Structure 1
C-alpha cells in the first residue's frame, strides 16, 4: 500500500471518531470515539514515518499510546463514578461538575 491509502484510511477513521463524539451522548461511546481518533492520528504518524524512512513518527505514536493508556485509566474511573452516582452513562445527565 502506498502513503495515500494509509492517509485516506486515517482520515476515514478520524472522521468516524469525530462523528461519534459529536453525535452520541453516551460517555463510553464518546470515549471510544476519542480513542479511535487518537489511533487514526497514530496511523498517520506511522505512515509518514514509513514513507520518510525515519523512526520519528513511530516514536510519536508510541508516546501517544502511552498517554492514551493513562487517559483510559482516568477516563474510565470518572465514567464509573458518574455511573455509580447517576445510574446512567449519558452525558446529558452528568452535571456533577456544575456549581
Structure 2
C-alpha cells in the first residue's frame, strides 16, 4: 500500500480543522473542527502502523485508541463549557467571551467598599 494517499487526506483534514478553529465564531463548530484535527491524527497513526508493523506491532492502533478516548473527554468537557456559556450569555459566540475579568472601579474617597459602617450611635 502506498502511504501517500492517507497522508495527503490526513493533511487536508487537519488543514480544514485548523481553518475551522481559526475562522469559526460558534463554539460548537470550533469543537467540531478540533474533532476533525484529531481524526486526521488518527488516520496518520493507523497508516504509520501499517507501514512499521514488523518493528512495533499495533502501536499505532493503540495510540489511535488513546486519541479517541481523549477526543471523547474533550467533547464532554467542551460541551459542558459551551452549555454554561450559553446559560450565562445566551450566545455561544467565542468572540463575546471575555478572557479576563474587568478591573474593579477604584474609590478615591469616602468609605472603603466592604468596610463596616457605624450606626447612628457611633463608637461608645
Do they fold alike, i.e. is TM over 0.5? yes
> RMSD of the TM alignment (CA)?
1.1
Whole-angstrom CA distance in 1 between matches of 2:96 and 2:36: 24
Name which one, 1 or 2, has greater alpha-carbon Rg: 2
| 1:98 and 2:100 are equivalent in the alignment | yes
Q: Which runs of 5+ in 2 are unaligned?
A: 102-124
Q: Which runs of 5+ in 1 are unaligned?
A: none
Number of aligned residue pairs: give it: 98
| 1:55 and 2:50 are equivalent in the alignment | no
Q: TM-score scaled to structure 1, two decimals?
A: 0.93
Structure showing the higher helix proportion among its residues? 1
**Deviation digits for residues 16-37 of structure 1, max 9, x if unmatched?**
0000001111111111001100
Q: TM-score scaled to structure 2, two decimals?
A: 0.75
**4+ long deviations beyond 3 Å:** none
**Deviation digits for residues 59-97 of structure 1, max 9, x if unmatched?**
1010011111111110000001001111111001122x5
Q: Which fold has the larger relative contact order, with Cα–Cα distance below 8 Å and residues 6 or more apart in sequence?
A: 1
Whole-angstrom CA distance in 2 between matches of 1:7 and 1:41: 10
